Structure 1
Amino acid sequence: MSRLTGPRLKIMRSLGVDLPGLSRKTIEARPTPPGQHGMKAMRRRKSDYGVKLQEKQKLRFNYGLTERQMRRLIIEARKGSEPTGDNFLQLLERRLDNVVFRAGFAPSAISARQLVTHGHVILNGRSVNIPSIRVKLADEISLKVTSLKIPLVIETLAKPVLDRPDWLQWDETDKRIKVAHLPDADQVPFPIDVQQVVEYYSNRI
């Protein structure tokens, strides 16, 4: 998310959760909210609105979306036959920049977005530069041969931040990912109460 300029760890401490798409760092050593009253903030009971906002912000920051993009996805998710929350999470997971991250080509969704926008990513044999492209069943995603030599890519492939999800089939020989099946809602890599997110937007769209 190019608009994000603040400290990423501070955001995760405020939300009380590690967001792998936002940063490789963890809040384990400092789990309290930032500021001198962090412990008090942890003990203070959040309002219903505060809970809904926090869950929404987890998704927004992890996937690097603007508020406008979030609203558009919620509107689209409502049109599906499955529960809105499940549809919403699947739409987020299927973004090309997230797939590049989950494949292990980049250490965060932000880095993955840069790989896409700079033209390093190949989708079904064609170079693409739009991070919001939504992958489909049987799509194949790889990097250009020269891009596989980028030090950050080499480092991340050797030690991915997350285990690759089972809906992405990894070809070690060709360093290629294939979409084996569409992701389930429970494959988001951090705890999320998506119903709170749906309710947050219910009166705002």
Structure 2
Amino acid sequence: MDTIPARLDHIVLATPDLAATVAEFTRRTGVVPAPGGAHVGHGTRNHLVGLGGRAYLEILGPDPEQPEPTGPRPFGVDGLDAPRTITWAISPQDLDATVAGARAQGYDPGDVRDMSRRRPDGTLLRWRLTDGGSPHPSGLVPFLIDWGTTPHPSASGLPVTPLREMTATAPDPDEIRPLLAALGTGLSLTEGPAAFSFTVDTPNGPITFT
């Protein structure tokens, strides 16, 4: 199958130390991720790199300029001791219809909620996404996102490292595939511990992240 999932919006690389991970990404690839902005109230901020087309990589970690959030930071950042590819997102043509269709097939992507972040230039970006509800423990089933009228991050002049492939392993790939199909996407899966791998083209040659 195609090693780039259908409707891929972005890949989330979470880290306990955002500055260190951005520096390491720059060292390995020769490409400097662009500051994305702060998730106000959630205690995180991000840097972004285009993956070609409308897809991008989000490097997300704690924001030292924000006070401690009242709840846990997104994507289990507080429990990480090293950078890790946590999950991914797809952007269906109709988010609400995709959620309803998946539920009809026995998979609940979770409720849809509003999110926002403020870019360094002060622009407030707003979008809708599925909150995951009770996400699949593997992290291999994507959440859904709808940018609405907000300009897509990939259109903001990001540095680009084109995505060559995105693959994963799972203890039981046949359990995951129907859930992906219910969302109208797929992922190249083989048997093994639950984990992601993606490879990008860079000035330093192809580089793989896990």
TM-score category of the 2 structures, normalised to the smaller one:
under 0.3
Structure number with the higher strand fraction is 2
Q: TM-score, normalised by structure 2?
A: 0.26
What TM-score do you get using the length of structure 1 for normalisation? 0.27
Task: Compare CA radii of gyration and give the structure with the larger one.
Answer: 1
